[in-house]
Protein backbone atom coordinates (compact mmCIF):
# COMPACT_ATOMS: atom_id res chain seq x y z
CA UNK A 1 0.00 0.00 0.00
CA UNK A 2 2.74 2.59 0.73
CA UNK A 3 4.07 2.14 -2.82
CA UNK A 4 0.76 2.88 -4.49
CA UNK A 5 1.02 6.71 -4.52
CA UNK A 6 4.52 6.50 -5.96
CA UNK A 7 3.42 4.14 -8.72
CA UNK A 8 0.45 6.38 -9.46
CA UNK A 9 2.82 9.32 -9.76
CA UNK A 10 5.21 7.45 -12.04
CA UNK A 11 2.41 6.32 -14.31
CA UNK A 12 0.04 9.27 -14.08
CA UNK A 13 -1.13 10.79 -17.41
CA UNK A 14 1.36 13.64 -17.02
CA UNK A 15 4.22 11.27 -16.21
CA UNK A 16 3.38 9.00 -19.16
CA UNK A 17 3.42 11.99 -21.52
CA UNK A 18 6.80 13.02 -20.11
CA UNK A 19 8.22 9.50 -20.52
CA UNK A 20 6.95 9.51 -24.10
CA UNK A 21 8.74 12.80 -24.69
CA UNK A 22 12.03 11.54 -23.23
CA UNK A 23 11.86 8.25 -25.13
CA UNK A 24 11.11 10.06 -28.39
CA UNK A 25 14.00 12.49 -27.88
CA UNK A 26 16.43 9.68 -27.06
CA UNK A 27 15.49 7.32 -29.88
CA UNK A 28 15.16 10.10 -32.44
CA UNK A 29 18.79 11.06 -31.83
CA UNK A 30 20.03 7.58 -32.78
CA UNK A 31 21.20 7.75 -36.38
CA UNK A 32 20.31 4.15 -37.21
CA UNK A 33 16.70 4.71 -36.10
CA UNK A 34 16.17 7.93 -38.02
CA UNK A 35 15.20 5.92 -41.09
CA UNK A 36 11.96 5.13 -39.19
CA UNK A 37 10.79 8.75 -39.39
CA UNK A 38 8.46 8.11 -42.38
CA UNK A 39 6.78 5.32 -40.39
CA UNK A 40 6.52 7.11 -37.04
CA UNK A 41 5.63 10.60 -38.29
CA UNK A 42 2.05 9.67 -39.37
CA UNK A 43 1.30 8.51 -35.81
CA UNK A 44 1.91 12.00 -34.43
CA UNK A 45 -0.03 13.57 -37.29
CA UNK A 46 -3.03 11.31 -36.66
CA UNK A 47 -3.04 12.20 -32.96
CA UNK A 48 -2.90 15.92 -33.70
CA UNK A 49 -5.67 15.57 -36.30
CA UNK A 50 -7.81 13.74 -33.75
CA UNK A 51 -7.44 16.68 -31.40
CA UNK A 52 -8.16 19.22 -34.13
CA UNK A 53 -11.40 17.55 -35.21
CA UNK A 54 -12.98 18.14 -31.78
CA UNK A 55 -11.99 21.78 -31.23
CA UNK A 56 -14.58 23.73 -33.23
CA UNK A 57 -17.64 21.81 -31.95
CA UNK A 58 -16.16 21.85 -28.43
CA UNK A 59 -15.67 25.63 -28.39
CA UNK A 60 -19.11 26.28 -29.88
CA UNK A 61 -20.80 24.04 -27.30
CA UNK A 62 -18.86 25.57 -24.40
CA UNK A 63 -19.65 29.13 -25.44
CA UNK A 64 -23.34 28.52 -26.08
CA UNK A 65 -23.93 26.66 -22.81
CA UNK A 66 -21.76 29.07 -20.82
CA UNK A 67 -23.29 32.32 -22.06
CA UNK A 68 -26.89 31.14 -22.21
CA UNK A 69 -26.77 29.35 -18.84
CA UNK A 70 -25.20 32.33 -17.06
CA UNK A 71 -27.86 34.60 -18.42
CA UNK A 72 -30.69 32.21 -17.53
CA UNK A 73 -29.33 31.92 -13.99
CA UNK A 74 -29.22 35.75 -13.72
CA UNK A 75 -25.70 35.73 -12.32
CA UNK A 76 -24.91 39.08 -13.86
CA UNK A 77 -25.38 41.57 -11.02
CA UNK A 78 -23.31 44.38 -9.63
CA UNK A 79 -20.62 42.09 -8.23
CA UNK A 80 -20.58 40.02 -11.40
CA UNK A 81 -20.25 43.09 -13.62
CA UNK A 82 -17.42 44.48 -11.50
CA UNK A 83 -15.66 41.11 -11.51
CA UNK A 84 -15.94 40.75 -15.29
CA UNK A 85 -14.61 44.28 -15.79
CA UNK A 86 -11.57 43.48 -13.65
CA UNK A 87 -11.09 40.16 -15.45
CA UNK A 88 -10.94 41.96 -18.79
CA UNK A 89 -8.51 44.58 -17.50
CA UNK A 90 -6.13 41.92 -16.16
CA UNK A 91 -6.44 39.73 -19.25
CA UNK A 92 -5.75 42.59 -21.64
CA UNK A 93 -2.78 43.71 -19.53
CA UNK A 94 -1.36 40.17 -19.47
CA UNK A 95 -1.88 39.73 -23.22
CA UNK A 96 -0.27 43.07 -24.09
CA UNK A 97 2.66 42.47 -21.74
CA UNK A 98 3.42 39.00 -23.12
CA UNK A 99 2.95 39.99 -26.75
CA UNK A 100 5.56 42.73 -26.31
CA UNK A 101 7.99 40.73 -24.19
CA UNK A 102 7.87 37.29 -25.87
CA UNK A 103 9.63 38.17 -29.17
CA UNK A 104 12.52 39.78 -27.28
CA UNK A 105 12.66 37.06 -24.62
CA UNK A 106 13.38 34.37 -27.21
CA UNK A 107 16.20 36.25 -28.95
CA UNK A 108 18.92 34.58 -26.82
CA UNK A 109 17.62 31.19 -28.00
CA UNK A 110 19.61 30.64 -31.20
CA UNK A 111 18.91 27.48 -33.18
CA UNK A 112 20.71 26.14 -36.22
CA UNK A 113 19.00 27.61 -39.31
CA UNK A 114 19.53 24.43 -41.34
CA UNK A 115 17.89 22.32 -38.62
CA UNK A 116 14.90 24.63 -38.22
CA UNK A 117 14.50 24.78 -42.00
CA UNK A 118 14.44 20.97 -42.18
CA UNK A 119 11.93 20.84 -39.34
CA UNK A 120 9.78 23.50 -40.99
CA UNK A 121 9.86 21.69 -44.33
CA UNK A 122 8.57 18.52 -42.67
CA UNK A 123 5.78 20.28 -40.77
CA UNK A 124 2.17 20.15 -41.87
CA UNK A 125 1.44 23.85 -42.26
CA UNK A 126 0.25 26.40 -44.75
CA UNK A 127 2.25 29.60 -44.40
CA UNK A 128 0.05 32.65 -43.93
CA UNK A 129 0.12 35.17 -46.75
CA UNK A 130 1.28 38.66 -45.85
CA UNK A 131 -1.91 40.12 -47.33
CA UNK A 132 -4.03 37.88 -45.13
CA UNK A 133 -2.45 38.93 -41.83
CA UNK A 134 -2.63 42.71 -42.14
CA UNK A 135 -4.45 44.59 -39.41
CA UNK A 136 -7.28 45.56 -41.76
CA UNK A 137 -7.79 42.02 -43.03
CA UNK A 138 -7.63 40.62 -39.51
CA UNK A 139 -10.24 43.10 -38.25
CA UNK A 140 -12.66 42.60 -41.16
CA UNK A 141 -12.37 38.81 -40.90
CA UNK A 142 -13.76 38.83 -37.34
CA UNK A 143 -17.31 39.02 -38.74
CA UNK A 144 -17.75 35.89 -40.87
CA UNK A 145 -19.72 36.13 -44.09
CA UNK A 146 -20.45 32.43 -43.77
CA UNK A 147 -19.99 31.02 -40.24
CA UNK A 148 -20.33 27.44 -41.51
CA UNK A 149 -17.46 27.99 -43.95
CA UNK A 150 -15.43 29.68 -41.21
CA UNK A 151 -15.89 26.61 -39.02
CA UNK A 152 -14.95 24.28 -41.90
CA UNK A 153 -11.82 26.35 -42.56
CA UNK A 154 -10.87 26.21 -38.88
CA UNK A 155 -10.76 30.02 -38.50
CA UNK A 156 -11.60 30.16 -34.82
CA UNK A 157 -12.04 33.89 -34.07
CA UNK A 158 -14.89 34.47 -36.57
CA UNK A 159 -16.58 31.33 -35.24
CA UNK A 160 -16.28 32.70 -31.69
CA UNK A 161 -17.82 36.05 -32.68
CA UNK A 162 -20.77 34.34 -34.35
CA UNK A 163 -21.24 31.84 -31.50
CA UNK A 164 -21.20 34.47 -28.75
CA UNK A 165 -23.75 36.67 -30.55
CA UNK A 166 -25.90 33.60 -31.22
CA UNK A 167 -25.69 32.60 -27.54
CA UNK A 168 -26.79 36.07 -26.40
CA UNK A 169 -29.67 35.94 -28.89
CA UNK A 170 -30.59 32.58 -27.42
CA UNK A 171 -31.07 34.21 -24.01
CA UNK A 172 -33.94 36.28 -25.46
CA UNK A 173 -36.00 33.20 -26.31
CA UNK A 174 -38.80 31.90 -24.14
CA UNK A 175 -37.46 29.67 -21.33
CA UNK A 176 -38.95 26.50 -22.82
CA UNK A 177 -37.43 27.08 -26.26
CA UNK A 178 -34.09 28.08 -24.75
CA UNK A 179 -34.03 24.95 -22.57
CA UNK A 180 -34.44 22.68 -25.60
CA UNK A 181 -31.54 24.32 -27.45
CA UNK A 182 -29.36 24.36 -24.33
CA UNK A 183 -29.95 20.69 -23.70
CA UNK A 184 -28.93 19.93 -27.29
CA UNK A 185 -25.60 21.73 -26.89
CA UNK A 186 -25.05 20.27 -23.41
CA UNK A 187 -25.43 16.75 -24.84
CA UNK A 188 -22.95 17.57 -27.61
CA UNK A 189 -20.52 18.93 -25.00
CA UNK A 190 -20.78 15.84 -22.81
CA UNK A 191 -20.14 13.53 -25.77
CA UNK A 192 -17.20 15.62 -26.96
CA UNK A 193 -15.56 15.55 -23.53
CA UNK A 194 -15.79 11.76 -23.52
CA UNK A 195 -14.25 11.65 -27.00
CA UNK A 196 -11.43 13.98 -25.95
CA UNK A 197 -10.64 11.82 -22.92
CA UNK A 198 -10.27 8.86 -25.28
CA UNK A 199 -7.91 10.88 -27.48
CA UNK A 200 -5.88 12.04 -24.48
CA UNK A 201 -5.28 8.45 -23.43
CA UNK A 202 -3.13 8.24 -26.56
CA UNK A 203 -1.07 11.26 -25.50
CA UNK A 204 2.11 9.26 -24.64
CA UNK A 205 2.09 7.65 -28.08
CA UNK A 206 1.38 10.90 -29.90
CA UNK A 207 4.01 12.81 -27.93
CA UNK A 208 6.56 10.06 -28.53
CA UNK A 209 6.00 10.21 -32.29
CA UNK A 210 6.22 14.01 -32.42
CA UNK A 211 9.33 14.12 -30.22
CA UNK A 212 10.99 11.37 -32.25
CA UNK A 213 10.55 13.29 -35.51
CA UNK A 214 11.63 16.64 -34.04
CA UNK A 215 14.67 15.06 -32.36
CA UNK A 216 15.69 13.28 -35.58
CA UNK A 217 15.58 16.50 -37.56
CA UNK A 218 16.70 19.07 -34.98
CA UNK A 219 18.91 17.01 -32.66
CA UNK A 220 18.01 15.93 -29.12
CA UNK A 221 20.58 18.19 -27.49
CA UNK A 222 19.35 21.30 -29.29
CA UNK A 223 15.70 20.44 -28.66
CA UNK A 224 16.35 19.68 -24.99
CA UNK A 225 18.06 23.04 -24.53
CA UNK A 226 15.18 24.81 -26.32
CA UNK A 227 12.57 23.08 -24.15
CA UNK A 228 14.51 23.95 -20.99
CA UNK A 229 14.74 27.56 -22.10
CA UNK A 230 10.99 27.70 -22.68
CA UNK A 231 10.15 26.18 -19.29
CA UNK A 232 12.54 28.57 -17.52
CA UNK A 233 11.12 31.56 -19.37
CA UNK A 234 7.56 30.46 -18.55
CA UNK A 235 8.44 30.31 -14.85
CA UNK A 236 10.12 33.72 -14.95
CA UNK A 237 7.11 35.34 -16.63
CA UNK A 238 4.80 33.73 -14.07
CA UNK A 239 6.87 35.22 -11.25
CA UNK A 240 6.90 38.67 -12.90
CA UNK A 241 3.15 38.55 -13.47
CA UNK A 242 2.68 37.41 -9.86
CA UNK A 243 4.63 40.39 -8.54
CA UNK A 244 2.44 42.66 -10.67
CA UNK A 245 -0.71 41.09 -9.24
CA UNK A 246 0.47 41.46 -5.65
CA UNK A 247 1.27 45.13 -6.19
CA UNK A 248 -2.05 45.75 -7.94
CA UNK A 249 -3.95 44.05 -5.12
CA UNK A 250 -2.20 46.07 -2.41
CA UNK A 251 -2.57 49.40 -4.20
CA UNK A 252 -6.07 49.09 -5.68
CA UNK A 253 -7.42 46.89 -2.89
CA UNK A 254 -5.78 48.90 -0.10
CA UNK A 255 -4.55 45.88 1.80
CA UNK A 256 -1.05 45.29 3.09
CA UNK A 257 1.26 43.15 0.98
CA UNK A 258 1.98 40.88 3.93
CA UNK A 259 -1.70 40.32 4.69
CA UNK A 260 -2.54 39.58 1.07
CA UNK A 261 0.35 37.12 0.75
CA UNK A 262 -0.61 35.40 4.01
CA UNK A 263 -4.20 35.02 2.80
CA UNK A 264 -3.42 33.53 -0.62
CA UNK A 265 -0.33 31.46 0.17
CA UNK A 266 -2.04 28.34 1.67
CA UNK A 267 -4.29 28.08 -1.38
CA UNK A 268 -1.28 28.52 -3.68
CA UNK A 269 0.48 25.61 -1.97
CA UNK A 270 -2.53 23.40 -2.67
CA UNK A 271 -2.84 24.66 -6.24
CA UNK A 272 0.88 24.34 -6.92
CA UNK A 273 1.14 20.75 -5.72
CA UNK A 274 -2.17 19.55 -7.20
CA UNK A 275 -1.92 21.64 -10.40
CA UNK A 276 -5.56 22.54 -9.88
CA UNK A 277 -6.89 25.95 -8.90
CA UNK A 278 -10.35 24.46 -8.33
CA UNK A 279 -8.97 22.07 -5.71
CA UNK A 280 -7.57 25.06 -3.83
CA UNK A 281 -10.89 26.96 -3.74
CA UNK A 282 -11.76 26.02 -0.12
CA UNK A 283 -8.35 27.25 1.09
CA UNK A 284 -8.75 30.43 -0.97
CA UNK A 285 -12.16 31.15 0.55
CA UNK A 286 -10.78 30.50 4.03
CA UNK A 287 -7.94 32.99 3.48
CA UNK A 288 -10.33 35.61 2.11
CA UNK A 289 -12.70 35.17 5.04
CA UNK A 290 -10.34 34.69 7.98
CA UNK A 291 -7.29 36.74 6.98
CA UNK A 292 -8.64 39.47 4.70
CA UNK A 293 -12.09 39.50 6.33
CA UNK A 294 -13.87 39.94 3.01
CA UNK A 295 -17.69 40.07 3.09
CA UNK A 296 -19.68 36.89 2.56
CA UNK A 297 -21.07 38.05 -0.78
CA UNK A 298 -17.52 38.27 -2.11
CA UNK A 299 -16.24 34.97 -0.70
CA UNK A 300 -19.47 33.21 -1.65
CA UNK A 301 -19.85 34.53 -5.20
CA UNK A 302 -16.82 36.35 -6.59
CA UNK A 303 -14.21 33.70 -5.73
CA UNK A 304 -16.18 30.67 -7.08
CA UNK A 305 -17.15 32.74 -10.13
CA UNK A 306 -13.52 33.70 -10.73
CA UNK A 307 -12.25 30.13 -10.34
CA UNK A 308 -14.87 28.91 -12.82
CA UNK A 309 -14.41 31.40 -15.64
CA UNK A 310 -11.23 33.43 -15.16
CA UNK A 311 -7.91 32.07 -16.48
CA UNK A 312 -5.41 34.90 -16.01
CA UNK A 313 -2.58 32.73 -17.32
CA UNK A 314 -4.09 32.06 -20.76
CA UNK A 315 -2.85 35.26 -22.46
CA UNK A 316 0.63 34.67 -21.01
CA UNK A 317 1.09 31.01 -21.88
CA UNK A 318 -0.81 31.00 -25.18
CA UNK A 319 1.26 33.89 -26.53
CA UNK A 320 4.51 32.53 -25.09
CA UNK A 321 3.85 29.05 -26.46
CA UNK A 322 3.07 30.36 -29.95
CA UNK A 323 6.27 32.39 -30.00
CA UNK A 324 8.28 29.37 -28.83
CA UNK A 325 6.85 27.08 -31.51
CA UNK A 326 7.57 29.76 -34.12
CA UNK A 327 11.17 29.96 -32.87
CA UNK A 328 11.52 26.18 -32.88
CA UNK A 329 10.42 25.94 -36.51
CA UNK A 330 12.21 29.09 -37.67
CA UNK A 331 9.03 31.04 -38.44
CA UNK A 332 8.74 34.82 -38.06
CA UNK A 333 5.41 35.81 -36.52
CA UNK A 334 3.94 39.15 -37.58
CA UNK A 335 2.45 41.40 -34.85
CA UNK A 336 -1.06 40.70 -36.17
CA UNK A 337 -0.46 36.95 -35.81
CA UNK A 338 0.56 37.34 -32.17
CA UNK A 339 -2.46 39.61 -31.73
CA UNK A 340 -4.68 36.81 -33.02
CA UNK A 341 -3.35 34.43 -30.38
CA UNK A 342 -3.68 37.06 -27.64
CA UNK A 343 -7.23 37.99 -28.67
CA UNK A 344 -8.26 34.34 -28.78
CA UNK A 345 -6.84 33.78 -25.29
CA UNK A 346 -9.17 36.51 -24.01
CA UNK A 347 -12.26 35.59 -26.00
CA UNK A 348 -11.93 31.90 -25.11
CA UNK A 349 -10.87 32.53 -21.54
CA UNK A 350 -14.08 31.29 -19.97
CA UNK A 351 -14.41 28.34 -22.34
CA UNK A 352 -11.29 26.32 -21.59
CA UNK A 353 -12.48 22.73 -21.04
CA UNK A 354 -11.82 21.25 -17.61
CA UNK A 355 -9.48 18.55 -18.86
CA UNK A 356 -5.68 18.21 -18.70
CA UNK A 357 -3.98 20.73 -21.02
CA UNK A 358 -7.41 21.92 -22.15
CA UNK A 359 -6.07 25.39 -22.88
CA UNK A 360 -3.47 23.92 -25.22
CA UNK A 361 -5.91 21.65 -27.04
CA UNK A 362 -8.25 24.42 -28.20
CA UNK A 363 -5.38 26.38 -29.75
CA UNK A 364 -5.02 24.01 -32.72
CA UNK A 365 -7.19 26.02 -35.15
CA UNK A 366 -5.43 29.23 -34.10
CA UNK A 367 -2.03 27.74 -34.95
CA UNK A 368 -3.32 26.58 -38.32
CA UNK A 369 -4.81 30.01 -39.03
CA UNK A 370 -1.57 31.93 -38.40
CA UNK A 371 0.71 29.45 -40.14
CA UNK A 372 2.21 27.63 -37.15
CA UNK A 373 2.67 23.84 -37.15
CA UNK A 374 -0.03 22.28 -35.00
CA UNK A 375 2.45 19.52 -34.11
CA UNK A 376 4.13 22.03 -31.80
CA UNK A 377 1.15 21.83 -29.45
CA UNK A 378 2.00 18.19 -28.73
CA UNK A 379 5.46 19.21 -27.55
CA UNK A 380 3.97 21.91 -25.31
CA UNK A 381 1.56 19.37 -23.78
CA UNK A 382 4.45 17.07 -22.90
CA UNK A 383 6.35 19.78 -20.99
CA UNK A 384 3.31 21.43 -19.43
CA UNK A 385 3.75 19.91 -15.95
CA UNK A 386 6.16 22.49 -14.47
CA UNK A 387 4.55 25.57 -16.06
CA UNK A 388 1.15 24.23 -15.00
CA UNK A 389 2.15 24.34 -11.32
CA UNK A 390 2.95 28.02 -11.63
CA UNK A 391 -0.20 28.62 -13.66
CA UNK A 392 -2.35 27.31 -10.81
CA UNK A 393 -0.60 29.49 -8.22
CA UNK A 394 -0.87 32.53 -10.50
CA UNK A 395 -4.57 31.96 -11.19
CA UNK A 396 -5.27 31.85 -7.45
CA UNK A 397 -3.39 35.12 -6.90
CA UNK A 398 -5.38 36.77 -9.70
CA UNK A 399 -8.70 35.52 -8.31
CA UNK A 400 -7.87 36.85 -4.85
CA UNK A 401 -6.81 40.15 -6.40
CA UNK A 402 -10.19 40.50 -8.09
CA UNK A 403 -11.98 39.61 -4.85
CA UNK A 404 -10.03 42.15 -2.79
CA UNK A 405 -10.68 45.00 -5.24
CA UNK A 406 -14.36 44.13 -5.74
CA UNK A 407 -14.77 44.01 -1.94
CA UNK A 408 -13.31 47.48 -1.69
CA UNK A 409 -15.64 48.75 -4.40
CA UNK A 410 -18.72 47.30 -2.76
CA UNK A 411 -20.32 49.39 -0.05
CA UNK A 412 -20.49 46.46 2.38
CA UNK A 413 -16.81 45.57 1.94
CA UNK A 414 -15.27 49.01 1.89
CA UNK A 415 -14.36 49.04 5.57
CA UNK A 416 -14.20 45.33 6.21
CA UNK A 417 -10.46 45.25 6.55
Other C-beta atoms within 10 Å of 36: how many? 15
Q: Give one word for 127, left, alpha or beta, with left for phi > 0 and alpha for psi -120 to 50.
A: beta
**What are the pLDDT digits (tens) for 250-288?**
999 899 999 999 999 988 887 886 677 777 887 888 889
Q: Does this model's pTM top 0.75?
A: no
Which one is the CATH code of 11-409: 1.10.10, 2.60.40, 1.10.3860, 3.10.450?
Answer: 1.10.3860
Residue 417 pLDDT greater than 50, yes or no: no
Q: Where are the domains of the chain?
A: 11-409
Segment 88-111, tens digit of pLDDT: 999 999 999 998 898 888 888 877
**Calpha distance 210→41 (Å, rounded):** 7
Do 266 and 281 form a contact (C-beta atoms < 8 A)?
A: no
pLDDT in tens, 60-75: 887 787 767 654 444 4
Per-residue model confidence as pLDDT tens digits over 320-369? 999 998 888 888 888 888 888 888 888 877 666 655 566 777 788 888 87
pLDDT(1) > 50: no
**Residue 297: its pLDDT value, please?**
74
pLDDT mean over 398-414: 79
Identify which of 233, 268, 278 has the alpha carbon closest to the alpha carbon of residue 104. Answer: 233
- Tallying the residues shown for the chain, one arrives at 417
Amino acid sequence: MPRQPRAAGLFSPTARAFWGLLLGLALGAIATLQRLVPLIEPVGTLWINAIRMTVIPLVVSLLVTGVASAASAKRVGRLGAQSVALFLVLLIAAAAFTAVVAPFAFRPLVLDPASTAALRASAHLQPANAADISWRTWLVSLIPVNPIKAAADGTLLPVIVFTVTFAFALTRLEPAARAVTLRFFEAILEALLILIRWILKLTPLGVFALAFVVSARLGSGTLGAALGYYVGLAVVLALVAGIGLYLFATIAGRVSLRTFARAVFPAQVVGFTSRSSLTALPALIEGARDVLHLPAEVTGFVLPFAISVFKFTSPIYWTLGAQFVAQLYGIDLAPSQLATVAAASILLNASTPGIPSGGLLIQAPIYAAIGLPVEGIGILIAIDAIPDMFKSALILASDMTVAVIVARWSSSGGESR
